[in-house]
């Protein structure tokens, strides 16, 4: 699956063997084994641990270029 972060101010971080996503009052976890790629389309926070974790697990990051 592709993990899509498309809500302004969302937060992506690593928690154990999962990615934890927080947006407004909602929090959910996604196992790294279920994530093929991560797409971030708006201003969001991402921890360096999540970046390292995704790279280590060979997940692909696609980022939107702001103009």
Given this model, what pLDDT does residue 11 score?
95
The ranges of the chain with pLDDT < 70 are 57-67
Half-sphere exposure of 62 (CA within 13 A, CB side): 10
User: Which CATH number do you get for residue 24?
Assistant: 3.100.10.20
Q: What are phi and psi of 34, to 5 degrees?
A: -95, -5
Given this model, what pLDDT does residue 51 score?
86
Given this model, what pLDDT does residue 47 score?
94
Report the domain count for the chain.
Answer: 1
Given this model, what pLDDT does residue 21 score?
96
Residue 7's domain spans which residues? 2-63
């Amino acid at each position: 699956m592709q993990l899509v972060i498309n809500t302004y101010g969302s937060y992506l971080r690593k928690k154990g063997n999962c990615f934890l996503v927080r947006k407004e009052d909602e929090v959910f976890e996604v196992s790294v084994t279920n994530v093929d790629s991560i797409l971030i389309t708006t201003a969001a926070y991402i921890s360096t641990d999540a970046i390292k974790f995704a790279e280590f697990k060979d997940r692909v990051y696609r980022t939107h270029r702001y103009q």
